Structure 1
Amino acid sequence: MSRRLVRAVPLTAAWLATRGLMLWVLTHSTPAALGNGRVAHEVWGLYHHWMNVLAHGAFPAHDTLWQYPPGAGLVMLSPAALPGLTYLQAFVVLTLLCDAAVTFALARAGRRDGGSGLGAWYWTCGLPLLLHLPLARYDVIVTAFAVLALLALARFPRAGGALAALGALVKVWPVLVLLGTAKGRATRTAWIWAAAVGAVTCALLGLVFRNSLSFLGNQGGRGVQIESLGGTLLGLARHAGWPGRVRYQYGAMEFVGPHVTAVAHASLALTAVSFALLLLWRLRSRRWTAATPCDAALAAVLLFTVTSRVVSPQYLIWLLGLSAACLTVRHTVQRPVTVLVAVAAAVSVVVYPVMYREVILSTTTGVGLMLARNGLLAAAAIWSLVRLWRATRGTPDPASVPDSRRAVDWALSKAS
């Protein structure tokens, strides 16, 4: 047996053990502490319903719960490719396959020059912190596109751009992984391929399905979800006498009442500020390393997550995946941030599904949990951006970039 196979045995055993535990929890999620099966309902109820609509050649245009780009429709239809299984069973199988692909890609990236195996272990042991939730949401599939795109960008910018575009057509945010591509030819290649693949795929989906852009009209009416940063502030306000209440709408538990619109607008404003800060970082950064694309992607997604009107528990899957990608590179500056993300994931599963009723009622316990989870995420976002900003200041050094082609590009640009 080769040395490489021997080194893969512990990681493989850990993956099989943790995923087996997640499957067991998914099939035994009837106790109240585990949400009474509510976690899995989104797959066999909502996703399955959308599959039946999509099978007739149209997106659910008049369904306010449909708020996803057209590529998500292919994900909803994909379980039909596994005959002999129920929709839930096939969906879980596909999710586990994507999970395994991410683990393999992270492990392989860790074996490169300047790489680290910590990323694969982080993902393997970090995802189960969310219990069975990752198996019952399509965010593992989305995260697979983003992580594979990041890991491909350094050597294969065309493939990285294409994967980022496909991920964006499934859930928008994977396009952010292109933010940290090295300036120059790498950026041009990745962004051009992302634009081309995205445009062609979107056009094809528009030809095959009717109402492919209907999701755009379902986003504007969203309010403030109780698990968002703004929702945490409104939960505190209820203890101070604010008369608002919680209502199920747009597929989430949201606050309704006085000043909710103002809080939603403030969240959008903070998102715009985050975008401006990231753009300023991009323009002013000078020093790139092999870790910069991963570090920038984690910082960007953290900022957009924290400032969003909606911070669903499955968003932690994204952050765990991007954190794992950072940890595959020894030069990463995000190690302390990845610890905060893991702790936030552990707290998040207590928020949902374990004590979600407390959060809905804005009890002292519920508000305290939200303060802890969102406080961790806010601290991680700020710390991530600060560390990214500091790491990319100064004069670029080709010796810090293991990719020889980028070092040659840098030397030629200096000579000219």
Structure 2
Amino acid sequence: MNRLRVTPGPVLALAAVWLATRALMSWLLTHDSSPLLGGGSVPREVWRLYFHWYGVLSRGAFPAHDSTWQYPPGAGAVLLAPGLLPWWTYFQAFVALTLAADALIAVTLFRAGTRPGHSLLGAALWTGGLPLLLQVPLARYDVQVTALAVVSLLTLARSPRAGGVLGGLGALVKVWPVLVLLGTPQGPATRRAWGWAVAAGGTCLALFEVSFNNPLAFLWQQGGRGVQIESFGGTALNLARHVGWSGRARYQYGAIELVGPHVRAVAAASLALTAAAFALLVLWRLRARHWSPATPYDAALSGVLLFTATSRVISPQYMIWLLGLAAVCLTSRHTSQRPVAVLILAASALSSVAFPMFYRDVVAGTWTGCLLMLARNGLLAAAAVLSFVLLWRSARPPAGKPVPATEPRPDSDRLPDRALSIS
């Protein structure tokens, strides 16, 4: 595919910003003893919990009886990867690999932005947006998962097979990347992408089954999860504490969750909303008649937003996924999701204020903590609703202007460089 000629200025600017911000994030990760930066709690996830799982996994088993293990078997490969760099400590190797995945995302977005009909805004959003989450992205494995999703999305138009394989592998690591295949063009492209995703995921799952004990142990732990304090349900229950609700916060299943009366009902309501979100996405898929090169990107962002907003969890690292997918959308000049990307940036900034800066207030359910989470979750809700509305509108042809028979149909393996007209 032909590329636009890019002057050295944007390249150097983005590279300089990436290097400066990642150096700052790394410094914060190793100098976060201040209560405003979490009092050392952020990197503890790596050098204590991840390293513990590394020890279990290296002996050929998944943590079967560990309630904090909530992840599909592909996560084991990510957590074992730091062992490939034995000259560093586990913590150092993990952060180095996370930065490498971050750089891969930035480079992939930049390359995508140089194609005709594309934009460097996506690379700029990722480069400047990820630091809004402070040091958190470097101490979670969500950057690696997001890299699989981003590369999968940006590969789909040229190779549904490769995009499907990457999406399937991503789903095996943390489930949600399967949603990047939601907007594949109708016809052979969808069949190839989903077929190869299932084949890749099934093959790797079989390898884990043969090589490790208890690869599906995460299913037992995931089913027991309750309402995490940062979710919509958690925000509602925290507010209820101010009017007499007798529940409290407790550490369980690897997170701070709320326990007490009506928690199960709130959790059930979240699951019902997730099911409704899935139904809406299926309805969109069945009713969509108008594809542009940006439709797969927009559908992926909308799908993950809806599932995030209705989740019982909504941990701060979920924002990493949304930033990555929003960045993919902004690589295309045909995307409908520009205002959604702005809301995601604002929600990311507020997430950092809530965690790690004022997390004690969030856990204690003070008015400060409640209002912070209400504002962050309100932005996520607005982003999810707006994203789906824009996706729905963009996938319908303009009134009185059906797609001409001479236009390339959206069921081809490769979408045209020029979008089918969207107004």
Identify whether the pair has TM-score above 0.5, normalized to the shorter chain: yes
Specify whether residues 404 and 147 from structure 1 end up closer, same or farther in structure 2 by C-alpha distance, changes over 3 A only. Answer: closer
- Residue 168 of structure 1 corresponds to 171
What is the alpha-carbon distance in structure 1 between the residues aligned to residue 318 and residue 414 of structure 2? 35
Counterpart of 1:86 in structure 2 is 89
Residue 92 of structure 2 is aligned to residue 99 of structure 1 = no
- Mark the CA change 1:122 to 1:56 in structure 2 (over 3 Å): closer, same or farther: same
Is 1:54–1:60's contact at 8 Å kept on the other side of the alignment? yes
The answer as to 2:167 corresponding to 1:155 is no
**Closer, same or farther in 2 for the Cα pair 1:400/1:37, shift >3 Å?**
farther
TM-score by length of 2: 0.94
**Does 2:119 correspond to 1:116?**
yes
CA distance in 1, matches of 2:222, 2:207: 23
Separation in 1, partners of 2:351, 2:128: 16
Question: Which residue number corresponds to residue 372 of structure 1?
Answer: 375
Q: For residues 290-317 of structure 1, what are the alpha-carbon distances to aligned partners after superposition, in whole Å with 9 as ceiling and x for unaligned?
A: 0000100000000000101011000000
Which of 200, 204, 208 is the matching residue for 1:201? 204
Give the partner amino acid of 2:40. Answer: G
Q: Which residue number corresponds to residue 361 of structure 1?
A: 364
Alignment size in residue pairs:
408
* TM-score normalised by the chain length of structure 1: 0.95
Whether 1:136 aligns to 2:139 is yes
Partner of 1:345: 348
Q: Aligned partner of 2:298: which letter?
A: D
Q: Deviations over 1:30-53 (max 9, x none)?
A: 111100110000000000000000
- Residues of 1 paired with 2:10 and 2:244: CA distance? 58
Root-mean-square deviation (CA, aligned residues, Å) is 1.8
Matched, 1:327 2:326: no
* Per-residue deviation, 1:84: 1.3
Deviations 1:242-268 (A, max 9, x none): 111111000111110000000000000
Task: Please name the residue that 2:270 is paired with.
Answer: 267
2:296 paired residue number: 293
Q: Which runs of 5+ in 2 are unaligned?
A: none
Report the alpha carbon displacement of residue 5 of structure 1 after superposing the two structures with TM. 4.6
Return the alpha-carbon distance in structure 2 between the equivalents of residues 142 and 190 of structure 1.
18
Counterparts of 1:27 and 1:400 in 2: how far apart (Å)? 52
Measured after TM superposition, the shift of residue 185 of structure 1 is 1.1
Residue identity over aligned pairs, in percent, reads 63
CA shift, 1:148, in A, is 0.4
Distance, in Å, in 1 between the alignment partners of 2:413 and 2:265 is 51
Structure 1 stretches of 5 or more lacking a match?
Answer: 412-416
Larger relative helix fraction = 1
> What letter corresponds to residue 43 of structure 1 in structure 2?
V
For 2:198 and 2:78, locate their aligned partners in 1 and report how far apart those are by CA, in whole Å: 21
C-alpha offsets along residues 73-103 of structure 1, whole Å, 9 cap, x if unaligned? Answer: 0111100100111111000000000000000
d(CA) in 2 for partners of 1:374 and 1:150?
Answer: 26
Q: Is the Cα contact below 8 Å between 2:157 and 2:414 reproduced in 1?
A: no
Q: CA deviation at 1:9?
A: 1.2
Q: Report the counterpart of residue 27 of structure 1 in structure 2.
A: 30
> Which amino acid in 1 is paired with 2:133?
L
Give the distance between the partners of 1:246 and 1:7, measured in 2 at CA.
47
2:309 maps to: 306
CA distance in 2, matches of 1:104, 1:407: 23
Match of 1:246 in 2: 249
